[in-house]
C-alpha cells in the first residue's frame, strides 16, 4: 500500500533510469543517510562507532570490491585481504616518503597500487578460470603477505612488518576522534558505492556480467575479454585496497602483514555470499551480518549455557562461531544463492501489495 | 652434490605427502565435478578424531577405526545435506559450498575432540637410516620412507579397487559420463557417497601421517592447501598427475627454500626464510600460463 510506484509517471528515458526511481526509495535512502550523517556522530557511543560502524563500512567497501570481481565478472578470488594489505602499505609509504602529500591523494594512490598488483595477479585469468583462478589468487594472498613481512623497506624497518598509521590531517583538521574518522569513512564509502552502483549498470558492468554468464559468447558479441577481465581485477583491487587503507588508518591504527590473512579473505568472501552475489546493497547487508553474528553469539551462547548449567569456554564459543559461519554459507548457497539482497527484494515485492492479498 | 641429493630426496618424500591429500581432491573431482576445498579440513578432522578418541585411553587401532567411522559419517553427511542439494549448480557455487563445509568441519571437530596440539605416535622414529647413511652418506629418514611406502601401497590399492571391483567400474563409468552411467542403472547419489567415503579414508591416512610428523594442529588444514598447486600441476582428473605433481612441488619448494634466500640476502640484506609458504602457488601460477590443463589433465574445449 505505502510502498508502490503507482501514480509516479516517468516522462523521459532519463527519469526512468534513475538510481532510485521510486519516491519511497529516495525518501528511505535520504533518511538513512541523514541518520548516518547527523544522528550517529551525535548519539552513538564510542564503542559502537569504533567497534561496529567503522569496520562495517570498511568491510562493505572491501566486499563491494570482491563483488565486482566475483559477483559481476564471475572470477573467484581468495586474495582480497592481500589487496587490502597492498593498499594499506602503499599509502603508508606514500605518506612516509613523499613530503607533504595530501592524505586523500595518498589514499587514492594506495588504491591504485592495489589495482596494479591486482592486474598483475589477474593476468592468469586470461587463460584460466574457475578453481584454477582461485588457486592463482591464493598465490597473491601468500606472496604479498610474505613480501610485506620479509622486505623491511615496506614497513620502514619495523620488526615483523608492523606499521602504525600516521596522524590523519586534512584541510587543517586532524581526524583523531572516532566520530570524525567515522564521518571520513562514511564519506569515502558513500562516494565509492555511488560510483560502484553506476559502474555496474553502465556498459562496463554489463560487459562484466556478459563475461560472467558465458565468456566465449561474450567474446563473440564483441566484448574484449582481456580488457574486461583486467578492468574487473583493477577496479576490484582498487576498492579492496582503499578498504585496506581505511582499515589501517581509520580502524586499527597499526597493522601487521599477518593481519591480512587468508581468514580475512574468506570473511570478505562470506560477506559477499551471505549478502548477495552481484548486488551492491548486498555488500552492506552481508558485512553487517558477518560482523554482528559473532557479537550476537558471544552474548547469547553464555546465556544459553547458564540456562542449561553447562560449562562453556571462550574456545568453545569461537569454535561454534566457525561452525555457524560454515553452516550459514552452505545454507545460503542452497536456499537463497542470491543472499540477503534477494530476501530484501522479496520483502519489497510483498510490501507493494501489503496489506491486500492481490 | 650430496647435499643437493639429500634435499631432492627429502623433497620427493614430503611431496608424496602432498600427493596423498591431492589424491582425495582428484577422487571427488573425477566422480562428481566438485572441487572439494574441504579436503584439508577432512585431513585435520581425521587427525583430531584419532587423537581425540585416544585421549579416552583406548588403543591406537580402536581410535583409528573410530576416526574412520567419523569420516564415513562426514562423507555421508556432506553428500546428503550439502552437495546432494546443490546438484546442477555452477561449479563455482559448489566450490564455495565446500569452503563453508571446511569451516563447519574445523569447528565441529574442534568441539568434539578439542583443539590443543597433540601428536600421534605411529611407533616409527623420524631419524636417518643407519645402513644407507654409512653406505652412501645420504641421510634418509626412516619415517619418510615408511610414509612413502604407505602412500604407494594406498595408490596401488586404489587402482586395483578401481580396475577390478564392481563399484570401481561404476565409479569410472560415472567419471566418464554421468548420463550414460545413469542410464545403465548406476545410482549417482550412491556413487558420490562412496567417493566421499573413499576420500575420507584417504584423508584419514594423510591425517595419520601428517599428524605424527608435524603434530595435530590447525596448521595441518593450511598445509593441506598445498595440495591445490599440486593439482594444478598434475591436472584435476589424473591420479598419476597427483603423484607426479606432488613430487615436483615437494622438490621445487625444498630447493627454493634452500637456494633462493641466500641470493636475496646478498642483494638486499635481511632474512628471507619461509619461501616454502608461497613458492608452490607462484610456481603453479607460472605453470598455468604455459599449460593451463596441467601435466596430465584433459584438454578442455569450450562450446557456445
- What are the pLDDT digits (tens) for A212-270? 888 889 989 999 988 999 999 999 999 999 999 999 988 888 888 888 988 899 999 98
Q: How confident is the model at residue B31 (pLDDT cuts 50, 70, 90)?
A: confident
Domain that holds residue A223: 44-353
Residue in B100, B229, B288 nearest the CB of A330: B100
| Chain A nearest CA to B36, separation (Å) | 10
Interface touch A139/B282, C-beta < 8 Å? yes
Q: How confident is the model at residue A84 (pLDDT cuts 50, 70, 90)?
A: very high
Global ipTM: 0.84
Q: What is the pLDDT of residue B297?
A: 67
Q: Is A255 helix (H, G, I), strand (E, B) or coil?
A: strand
Could you tell me if A273 lies within 8 Å of chain B, comparing CB atoms?
A: yes
Residue in A74, A143, A217 nearest the CB of B278: A143
pLDDT at B40 over 70: yes
- A 67-106: CB under 8 A from B: 74, 76
Interface touch A323/B82, C-beta < 8 Å? no
Return the percentage of chain A with pLDDT > 70, whole number.
Answer: 99
Q: Is A64 helix (H, G, I), strand (E, B) or coil?
A: helix
- The average pLDDT across B227-234 equals 85
Tracing cell 591504527 back to the chain, one arrives at A253
Ramachandran assignment for A77, one of left (phi > 0), alpha (psi -120 to 50 degrees), beta (any other): beta
Q: Is B128 helix (H, G, I), strand (E, B) or coil?
A: strand
Q: What is the pLDDT of residue B133?
A: 67
Q: What is the pTM of this model?
A: 0.89
Cα A77 to Cα A232: distance, rounded to the nearest angstrom:
11
- B 228-267: CB under 8 A from A: 228-229, 231-232, 236
**Mean of the per-residue pLDDT values for chain B?**
83
Cα B122 to Cα A140: distance, rounded to the nearest angstrom:
37
Could you tell me if B290 lies within 8 Å of chain A, comparing CB atoms?
A: no
Q: Is A254 helix (H, G, I), strand (E, B) or coil?
A: strand
Q: How confident is the model at residue A276 (pLDDT cuts 50, 70, 90)?
A: confident
pLDDT at A206 over 90: yes
User: For chain A, what is the total number of helices (H) and then of strands (E)?
Assistant: 16, 4
Q: What is the pLDDT of residue A198?
A: 92
Q: How many CB atoms lie within 10 A of CB B9?
A: 18
Q: What is the pLDDT of residue B304?
A: 54
In A195-297, which ranges are E strands? Answer: 254-255
pLDDT at A152 over 90: no
**First-to-final CA distance of chain B:** 53
A21 falls within a domain: no
Q: What is the pLDDT of residue B151?
A: 87
Q: What is the pLDDT of residue A135?
A: 80
Contacts of B45 in chain A (CB under 8 A): none
A240 falls within a domain: yes
Q: How confident is the model at residue B57 (pLDDT cuts 50, 70, 90)?
A: confident
Q: What is the pLDDT of residue A236?
A: 94
- The average pLDDT across B60-74 equals 91
- The average pLDDT across A162-167 equals 80
- The average pLDDT across A262-289 equals 90
Q: Could you give the number of structural domains in chain A? A: 1
- B 112-131: CB under 8 A from A: 115
What are the grid coordinates assigned to A25, written together? 526509495
Q: What is the CATH number of the domain that holds A106?
A: 1.10.3470
Could you tell me if A128 lies within 8 Å of chain B, comparing CB atoms?
A: yes
Cα A201 to Cα A195: distance, rounded to the nearest angstrom:
10
A to B CB pairs, distance under 8 Å? 137
Q: How confident is the model at residue A149 (pLDDT cuts 50, 70, 90)?
A: confident
Could you tell me if A138 lies within 8 Å of chain B, comparing CB atoms?
A: yes
Could you tell me if B21 lies within 8 Å of chain A, comparing CB atoms?
A: no
Could you tell me if A152 lies within 8 Å of chain B, comparing CB atoms?
A: yes
Q: What is the pLDDT of residue A319?
A: 86
Residue in B91, B222, B281 nearest the CB of A135: B281
Contacts of A156 in chain B (CB under 8 A): none
pLDDT at B60 over 90: no
Q: How far is residue B118 from each of residues B61, B68, B114, B146, B176, measured CA to CA in Å?
A: 17, 19, 10, 21, 42
Residues 6+ apart with CB under 8 A from B225: A138, B40
CB A71 within 8 A of CB A278: yes
Q: What is the pLDDT of residue A86?
A: 93
What are the grid coordinates assigned to A318, written together? 569461537
Cα A7 to Cα A112: distance, rounded to the nearest angstrom:
45
Cα B167 to Cα A51: distance, rounded to the nearest angstrom:
55
- B 209-228: CB under 8 A from A: 222, 225, 228
Structure confidence by residue, pLDDT tens digits, B82-140: 888 888 788 778 888 898 999 999 899 988 888 777 877 777 776 776 666 666 666 67
A327 falls within a domain: yes
Interface touch A152/B82, C-beta < 8 Å? no
| Chain A nearest CA to B8, separation (Å) | 23
Residue in A130, A136, A150 nearest the CB of B91: A130
Interface test with A, best of B85, B96, B109, B231 (most A CBs within 10 A): B96
Q: What is the pLDDT of residue A68?
A: 93
Which residue, among A145, A144, A146, A124, has the nearest Cα to A135 in the 3D structure? A124
Q: Is A123 helix (H, G, I), strand (E, B) or coil?
A: helix
CB B38 within 8 A of CB B243: no
Interface test with B, best of A217, A323, A325 (most B CBs within 10 A): A323
| Chain A nearest CA to B74, separation (Å) | 14
Interface touch A151/B96, C-beta < 8 Å? no
Residue of A nearest to B264 (CA): A151
Residue of A nearest to B231 (CA): A132
- B 61-100: CB under 8 A from A: 81-82, 85-86, 89, 91-93, 95-97, 99-100
Could you tell me if A146 lies within 8 Å of chain B, comparing CB atoms?
A: yes
- The average pLDDT across B49-74 equals 89
Cα A2 to Cα A11: distance, rounded to the nearest angstrom:
22
Contacts of B230 in chain A (CB under 8 A): none
As a whole number of Å, the CA-based R_g of chain A is 21
Which residue, among A330, A165, A276, has the nearest Cα to B108 in the 3D structure? A330
Beta bridge partners of A163: A255
Return the percentage of chain A with pLDDT > 90, whole number.
Answer: 28
Q: What is the pLDDT of residue B200?
A: 92
pLDDT at A2 over 80: no
pLDDT at A159 over 80: no
A77 falls within a domain: yes
Give kind and range of the element (H or E) at residue B4.
helix B2-32
Residue in B92, B107, B275 nearest the CB of A322: B107
Q: What is the pLDDT of residue A63?
A: 94
Interface touch A150/B271, C-beta < 8 Å? yes
Could you tell me if A263 lies within 8 Å of chain B, comparing CB atoms?
A: no
Amino acid at each position: 500500500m505505502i510502498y508502490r510506484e503507482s501514480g509516479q509517471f516517468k516522462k523521459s528515458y532519463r527519469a526512468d533510469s534513475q538510481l532510485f526511481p521510486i519516491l519511497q526509495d529516495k525518501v528511505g535512502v535520504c533518511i538513512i543517510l541523514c541518520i548516518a550523517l547527523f544522528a550517529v556522530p551525535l548519539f552513538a557511543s564510542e564503542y559502537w562507532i569504533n567497534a561496529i560502524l567503522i569496520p562495517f563500512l570498511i568491510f562493505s567497501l572491501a566486499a563491494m570490491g570482491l563483488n565486482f570481481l566475483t559477483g559481476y565478472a564471475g572470477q573467484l578470488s581468495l586474495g582480497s585481504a592481500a589487496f587490502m594489505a597492498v593498499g594499506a602499505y602503499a599509502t603508508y609509504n606514500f605518506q612516509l616518503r613523499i613530503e607533504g602529500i595530501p592524505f586523500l591523494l595518498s589514499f587514492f594512490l594506495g588504491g591504485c597500487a592495489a589495482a596494479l598488483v591486482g592486474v598483475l595477479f589477474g593476468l592468469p585469468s586470461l587463460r584460466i578460470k574457475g578453481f584454477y583462478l582461485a588457486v592463482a589468487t591464493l598465490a597473491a594472498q601468500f606472496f604479498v603477505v610474505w613480501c610485506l613481512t620479509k622486505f623491511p623497506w615496506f614497513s620502514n624497518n619495523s620488526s615483523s612488518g608492523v606499521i602504525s598509521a600516521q596522524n590523519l590531517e586534512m584541510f587543517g583538521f586532524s581526524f583523531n576522534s572516532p566520530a570524525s574518522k567515522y564521518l571520513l569513512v562514511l564519506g569515502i564509502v558513500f562516494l565509492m558505492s555511488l560510483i560502484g552502483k553506476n559502474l555496474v549498470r553502465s556498459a562496463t558492468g554489463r560487459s562484466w556480467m556478459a563475461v560472467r554468464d558465458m565468456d566465449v559468447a561474450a567474446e563473440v558479441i564483441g566484448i574484449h575479454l582481456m580488457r574486461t577481465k583486467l578492468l574487473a581485477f583493477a577496479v576490484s583491487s582498487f576498492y579492496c585496497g582503499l578498504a585496506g587503507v581505511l582499515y589501517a588508518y581509520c580502524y586499527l591504527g597499526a597493522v601487521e602483514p599477518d593481519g591480512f590473512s587468508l581468514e580475512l579473505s574468506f570473511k570478505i568472501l562470506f560477506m559477499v555470499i551471505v549478502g548477495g552475489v552481484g548486488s551492491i546493497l548486498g555488500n552492506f547487508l552481508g558485512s553487517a551480518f558477518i560482523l554482528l553474528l559473532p557479537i550476537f553469539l558471544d552474548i547469547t551462547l553464555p546465556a544459553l549455557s547458564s540456562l542449561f548449567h553447562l560449562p562453556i569456554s571462550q574456545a568453545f564459543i569461537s569454535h561454534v562461531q566457525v561452525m555457524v559461519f560454515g553452516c550459514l554459507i552452505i545454507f545460503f548457497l542452497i536456499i537463497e544463492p542470491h543472499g540477503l539482497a534477494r530476501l530484501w527484494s522479496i520483502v519489497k515485492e510483498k510490501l507493494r501489495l501489503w496489506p491486500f492479498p492481490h | 652434490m650430496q647435499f643437493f641429493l639429500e634435499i631432492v630426496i627429502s623433497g620427493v618424500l614430503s611431496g608424496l605427502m602432498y600427493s596423498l591429500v591431492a589424491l582425495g581432491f582428484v577422487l571427488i573431482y573425477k566422480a562428481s565435478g566438485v572441487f572439494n576445498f574441504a579436503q584439508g579440513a577432512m585431513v585435520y578432522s581425521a587427525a583430531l578424531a584419532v587423537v581425540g578418541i585416544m585421549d579416552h585411553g583406548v588403543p591406537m587401532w580402536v581410535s583409528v577405526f573410530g576416526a574412520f567411522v567419523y569420516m564415513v559419517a562426514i562423507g555421508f553427511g556432506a553428500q546428503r545435506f550439502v552437495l546432494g542439494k546443490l546438484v546442477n549448480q555452477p561449479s563455482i557455487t559448489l566450490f564455495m559450498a565446500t569452503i563453508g563445509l571446511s569451516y563447519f568441519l574445523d569447528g565441529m571437530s574442534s568441539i568434539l575432540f578439542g583443539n590443543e596440539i597433540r601428536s600421534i605416535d605411529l611407533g616409527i622414529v623420524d631419524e636417518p637410516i643407519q645402513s644407507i647413511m654409512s653406505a652412501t652418506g645420504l641421510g634418509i629418514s626412516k619415517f619418510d620412507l615408511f610414509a612413502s611406502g604407505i602412500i604407494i601401497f594406498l595408490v596401488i590399492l586404489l587402482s586395483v579397487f578401481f580396475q577390478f571391483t564392481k563399484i570401481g567400474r561404476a565409479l569410472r563409468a560415472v567419471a566418464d559420463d554421468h548420463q550414460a552411467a545413469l542410464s545403465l542403472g548406476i545410482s549417482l547419489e550412491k556413487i558420490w557417497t562412496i567417493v566421499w567415503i573413499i576420500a575420507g579414508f584417504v584423508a584419514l591416512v594423510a591425517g595419520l601421517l601428517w599428524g605424527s610428523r608435524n603434530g595435530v594442529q590447525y596448521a595441518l588444514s593450511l598445509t593441506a592447501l598445498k595440495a591445490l598447486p599440486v593439482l594444478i600441476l598434475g591436472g584435476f582428473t589424473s591420479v598419476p598427475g597427483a603423484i607426479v605433481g606432488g613430487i615436483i612441488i615437494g622438490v621445487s619448494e625444498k630447493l627454493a627454500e634452500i637456494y633462493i634466500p641466500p641470493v636475496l640476502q646478498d642483494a638486499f640484506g635481511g632474512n628471507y626464510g619461509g619461501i616454502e609458504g608461497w613458492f608452490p602457488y607462484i610456481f603453479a601460477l607460472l605453470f598455468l600460463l604455459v599449460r593451463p590443463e596441467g601435466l596430465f589433465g584433459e584438454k578442455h574445449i569450450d562450446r557456445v
